[in-house]
A and B are shown apart, each in its own frame.
Chain A
Amino acid sequence: MKLFCTALLALVFVSTNSVADEYVIDKKGMHASIQFKIAHLGYSWLWGRFNDFDGHFSYDRNNPEASKIEIIINTKSIDSNHAERDKHLRGDEFLDVEKYPQSRFVSTSFTMNEEGAGILKGNFTLHGVTKPIIINVKYIGEGDDPWGGYRVGFEGTTRIALADYGITKNLGPASAELELIFAIEGIRK
């Protein structure tokens, strides 16, 4: 009887506190990317990306507020398809990757409306500086994949000012800020 009661209690506990599913970012299949674009002289966009990153998140479509995400970026993997510029970006005038090999985003809250537009708040660490940022999230879709797994995908965009993170090299007034674009696909654990 006592055992039955405990089991019943456990069942009630589990069903009322729906635990969000855990997802790992599909890094292996590279169905994810972390890109940035920054104005070049104010005349065009320069695109680049971080080739190496990792992360995981929790998500429950019925209770999006319970979602959490953590992304770790290997700053050394910056790639703008130009050897000399990438060397420069890795150097101490910009990312200083020897000193700050990792950049990180850790969420603090998430809200999403019926249309799948969300606001993700969290702390972003870059160049050794941590600042709160807000990422605008767009829910893309979710469902079974053809190989027995379950996937969900989002896109997130945000703007950061380089000077906020102690990167003060002058690239001109149009290039003080850059846009970060996160394309995330997670596989349910």
Chain B
Amino acid sequence: MNIKNTSNSYGIVTILLHWLMAVLIVGLFVLGEIMVDLDYYSKWYNAAPWWHKSIGMLILALLFIRLIWVFCNNPPAPLRTYKMWEIQVAKATHSLFYILLIVICFSGYFISTARGASIEIFGWFDIPAFINFSKYQADIAGEIHEVAAYVMAFLFVLHVCATFKHHFIDKDVTLVRILKPVKQQESVK
């Protein structure tokens, strides 16, 4: 089992980072959607944003690790069956995911820290506020946070649809490659 990516397979680190982040991001999107409509007397009124912030900052940390990993590791070569435009759209989608994640994480951070309050991370430690750029920072950051999250949700749907298209219509190893490291002979198609 390879740790790093090879020319035809994702390594275990890439695969674990992908799925861990996928679960956290989808979960956080759903939590965010529910959280903003909670009744004031809901049991989760204070707990939901607390988890949302902690997990959000965890995602930012994972993203940082992932970006380093991406720069140190070439992804496996595109399958020979991929069309040029597919490769380009996929690359653009992946880059946009990273950009949106950065925007979403930072804008979220800027909402909570707008008045100088720090963010508590799982009760382990606090991340302090370090920038205040506007009197209405929380509102501006909030708008950006929401719009970027919806753009990413749209991108997520596109990403999943593309995966299913490759798996069920093209019947190639696109989905399988990110589920587990593939052996040499399996990858040739």
Contacts and interface: CB of A to CB of B under 8 A. Distances in A.
Contacts of A84: 49, 111-112, 138
Interface string B35-56: 0000111000000010000000
A83 B111 contact: yes
Nearest to B129: A83
A171 B117 CA distance: 24
A169 interface: yes
Interface string A132-156: 0000000000000000000000000
A48 to B, nearest CB: 12
Interface in B137-169: 137-139, 142
A172 B49 CA distance: 20
A56 interface: no
A83 B138 CA distance: 6
A62 interface: no
A170 B40 contact: yes
A90 interface: yes
Contacts, number: 32
Interface string A66-95: 000000000010000111101100100000
Interface residues of A, number: 12
A172 B139 contact: no
A28 to B, nearest CB: 18
B136 A82 contact: no
Given A170-B39, A171-B40, A90 B139 contact: yes
Contacts of A172: 40-41
Contacts of B139: 87, 90
A11 to B, nearest CB: 52
A87 B139 CA distance: 6
Nearest to A98: B139
Nearest to A170: B40
B114 interface: yes
B40 A83 contact: no
A29 B39 CA distance: 40
18 contacts: A76-B136, A83-B114, A83-B137, A83-B138, A84-B111, A86-B138, A87-B111, A87-B114, A87-B138, A87-B139, A87-B142, A90-B136, A169-B40, A170-B39, A170-B40, A170-B41, A172-B40, A172-B41
